[in-house]
Amino acid sequence: MSMKSWQNQRGFLFLKEERCKGCGFCIDLCPKKVLRQSEVMNAKGYHPPELYDVEGCIMCDICTEICPDFAIYRYRSKERGKNA
């Protein structure tokens, strides 16, 4: 399974491209609008998102929580006291 990841000083964003069904929830709900639909097409024919502004990602939990397909998720480098 193809796994994408992006890293900044706040943490990592992972994407299991083959699980994505292209619903666009993550792209629309991202508070920083740093995701967009990629040109990649997965085996099921969907276009997964990509993090085009890596530094702009605040590693919140919004895409992780809304993704119906358990495809996109973030880990923080060090847990901070509060969710940003």
State the residues that interact with other proteins by CB under 8 A: 3, 5, 11-12, 14, 16, 18-19, 21-25, 28, 44, 46, 64-70, 73, 75, 77
With CA atoms as reference, report the closest residue to 53 among 31, 36, 76.
36
C-alpha to C-alpha distance for 41 and 53, rounded to whole angstroms = 20
With CA atoms as reference, report the closest residue to 33 among 15, 68, 60, 6.
60
Picked from ligand SF4, other proteins, none, the partner binding residue 58 (CB below 5 to 8 A depending on kind) is: ligand SF4
Which secondary-structure segment (H or E) carries 14?
Answer: strand 11-16
Taking the complex as a whole, the smallest distance from the CB of residue 42 to ligand SF4 amounts, in Å, to 9
Size of the chain, expressed as the number of residues it contains: 84
Would you tell me which residues interact with ligand SF4 (CB under 6 A)?
13, 20-26, 30-32, 34-35, 48-49, 51, 57-60, 62-63, 67, 69, 71-72, 74
Picked from other proteins, ligand SF4, none, the partner binding residue 6 (CB below 5 to 8 A depending on kind) is: none
